[in-house]
Every structure is written in structure tokens, then in C-alpha cells.
Amino acid sequence: MSRLYDSRKRILVTGGAGFIGSHLVDRLLGEGHEVLCVDNLFTGTKRNIEHLHDNPRFEFMRHDVTFPLYVEVDEIYNLACPASPVHYQHDPVQTTKTSVHGAINVLGLAKRLGCKVLQASTSEVYGDPEVHPQVEGYWGHVNPVGPRSCYDEGKRCAETLFFDYHRQHGVEIKVARIFNTYGPRMHHADGRVVSNFLVQALRGEDITLFGDGRQTRSFCYVDDLVEGLVSLMATGPEVTGPVNLGNPHEFTMRELAERVIALTGSGAEMSERPLPLDDPRQRRPDITLARDLLDWTPRVELAEGLAETMHYMKRRLAELDEVTRT
């Protein structure tokens, strides 16, 4: 008992009521830590953390990270920011402020406390890449004035701030570049391809393919991603990142649609729509660095992860239908 107490940390997770954040909170609590979950519930939801409210080591604070946060913690995971195009384009100014002001505030807190801070960055920093697969040393091909720029450039600026605080103030930082992640607790209407395809197939609707469906993505199951984040945080001060975290197995959107149709038993057809502006043509991480530094590689195959996500989406759609009927 004393050994567990000595190793227990009080850990702040911003964006902790979100899709990835809530799974990270579960993992940290499962390791015996105390967790302070901070979220303004713009895209996060209390539903994702309602099973934790009786846990004496869990605390929830409704707060917007664009404002300073005055708490005492041992580590910080900064996951606060809408991550799907539908959500981050809804209020692009606020999205940029969340990335930039949020980074300044968590870094200022980490500086004051002398603690580690991990930034959940994104593969979107690579933009529509001209290097494939993407390695951490690639600077990216990003449109700074397009509809996705609030997220892409916001996250790029956040990385800049993390490294400047590290160089100027000695803050111990970790930067993870997260590639497409999926799994239970995804928002059913977040506009991301896995949730879109599953919801459309389960509702018996045609599956929407943007463009010709030959653009690619690599899909990492949420449990694997959380393992990568925790492993990165556990490294020593010499490891700052950025480190790619994602699944290197690449699929076209048409292949994903075919898998979803087969999995759900849907008779859905595929309906092509114009490709959105600045939508990347291909996306696949080079995870050599994560393998070497963290001994990390994804383990959950797409078939297994899609099945788990489908079961969640079925339950969620049934809940929504019940609400509609009442």
C-alpha cells in the first residue's frame, strides 16, 4: 500500500471528457493515480465520464483552457481542442485560441509547478503531405489561410510554444503527433470517416465518399493510442518529441467503406461527393521513432477495432432514438 501511495500522482488531463481524453483518464485511474479532468464540454460530454463520479481519485472541473488554471498537479496532459473538422470549423477563432492560449496556460502552469507537460498534437501539422509516409522531421505542406487552418496552424503554433518554453524556461515537454484515432465514445456526428461510415451503414443510408475514395488514412484504435501517450509521458527529460503515434497500416476510404458495409451487413451503396478543400490525399505515419524510443507499436487490428466501435455506435444510436421517441 505504501509503495502505491508513494508512486501515486495527481495528474491533470485537459479535454478529459472528450473521446481520447476520457479513455486516458480511465487508464490513469486504473494505474492508481488521482486525476483532475478539465473540460469546457464544447465537444466533450459528461456521458464519457459519468462512470467515474464515484471514484474518490477522480475530480471534474468545468473550465476553458483559454483562461489560466490554478491547480496543483504532478503531470499535465493537454488534450483540450476540438479535433474533427465539423467541430473545429464551427468556431474557428475559438479553435485557434484553444490551441494557442491553451498551450500558453498549461505551459505556464507546468513552469510554475516544475512538472512534465504533454501536448496532444496532430498529424494535421503535416497538412496535405508531399512526403509519404510522414516522418517527424518533415515540416509539412499546410495552407495557412484555408478552412482547416484554425486547427492545423493552431496546433503548429502550440508545438512552437512547447519547444520555446522548453528552450527558454527548461519546461519538461512531450509532444505527440496523433494520427487518425477511432473507437468507443467517438461522437456519432463528429464528421470523421469511421463514425460517419458506421452511422450511415447502421441507419441504412448510403455511405458518403468524398472524391473518388482513393485518398488514404491510417486508423489507430484508441487503446493503442492511449498506451503510446502514457509511454511517451514516462520517458526521461531527454525525450521531447515530436513523436508520431498512429497505425502505419494504410487504407483507402473505399476500402474502409467496404469493410463497414460487410461488418454491419448493410445494403448501403456508396455515394460520391466533391472532395472538401485542403482535404489530405494521403496520411500514414512513420512510427520508427515511437518503436525505438517507446517500444510502442499498435496491436489492435482494424477488424477488431471496427467491431468494438460498431457495438458502441449501435448502443448510442438506440439511445438517441429512444430520446426522440419520448
pLDDT digits (tens, 9 = 90+) for 281-320: 888 999 999 999 999 999 999 999 999 999 999 999 999 8
* Catalytic (active site) residue 151: yes
Q: Per DSSP, which regions of the chain are E strands?
A: 10-14, 34-39, 58-62, 75-78, 116-122, 173-178, 181-182, 207-210, 216-218, 220-221, 243-245, 250-252, 270-273
Q: How far apart are the first and last CA of the chain?
A: 49
What distance in Å separates the CA atoms of residue 281 and residue 156, rounded to the nearest whole number? Answer: 20
Bridge partners (DSSP) of residue 175 are 119
DSSP-based three-state secondary structure for 145: coil
Burial of 1 (0-12, 13-18, 19+ CB in 10 A): exposed
What distance in Å separates the CA atoms of residue 240 and residue 220, rounded to the nearest whole number? Answer: 22
Reported as a single tens digit per residue, the pLDDT across 163-206 is: 999 999 999 999 999 999 999 999 988 888 999 999 999 999 99
Give, in order, the Cα–Cα distances in Å from 124 to each of 30, 42, 139, 210, 284.
30, 21, 11, 18, 11
Cα 179–87–256 angle (5° rounding)? 45
* Per CATH, domain 2-182+220-246+277-299 is 2.40.160.60: no
pLDDT of residue 159: 98
pLDDT of residue 9: 97
pLDDT of residue 5: 46
Give the position of cell 470549423.
Answer: 89
The residues, any chain, with a CB within 8 Å of residue 196's CB and separated by 6 or more, are: 207, 208
Give me 48's grid cell.
464519457
- Supply the Cα-derived Rg of the chain in whole angstroms: 19
Give the position of cell 451503414.
Answer: 201
Reported as a single tens digit per residue, the pLDDT across 23-52 is: 999 999 999 999 999 999 999 999 999 999
What distance in Å separates the CA atoms of residue 117 and residue 303, rounded to the nearest whole number? Answer: 34
- Residue of 77, 88, 126, 151 marked active site: 151
Burial of 103 (0-12, 13-18, 19+ CB in 10 A): buried
What distance in Å separates the CA atoms of residue 176 and residue 173, rounded to the nearest whole number? Answer: 10
Above 90 in pLDDT, residue 244?
yes
Sort residue 115 into left (φ over 0), alpha (ψ -120 to 50) or beta: beta
- Stretch 267-274: mean pLDDT: 85
pLDDT of residue 1: 34
State the maximum Cα–Cα separation within the chain, in Å, rounded to a whole number.
Answer: 60
Contact 10, 37 (CB under 8 A): no
pLDDT of residue 2: 34
pLDDT of residue 271: 86
Per-domain residue ranges of the chain = 2-182+220-246+277-299
When pLDDT is cut at 50, 70 and 90, the band that residue 279 belongs to is: confident
Query: Could you give the percent of the chain with pLDDT greater than 70?
Result: 97
When pLDDT is cut at 50, 70 and 90, the band that residue 274 belongs to is: confident
Burial of 188 (0-12, 13-18, 19+ CB in 10 A): middle
Q: Calculate the CA dihedral of residues 309, 311, 314, 320 and round it to 10 degrees.
A: -70
Q: Are strands 207-210 and 58-62 parallel, antiparallel or unpaired?
A: unpaired
Mean pLDDT over all residues of the chain? 93
What distance in Å separates the CA atoms of residue 52 and residue 8, rounded to the nearest whole number? Answer: 18
- Spatial CA neighbour of 49 closest among 30, 31, 23: 23
Give me 165's grid cell.
518554453
Query: Could you give the percent of the chain with pLDDT greater than 90?
Result: 81
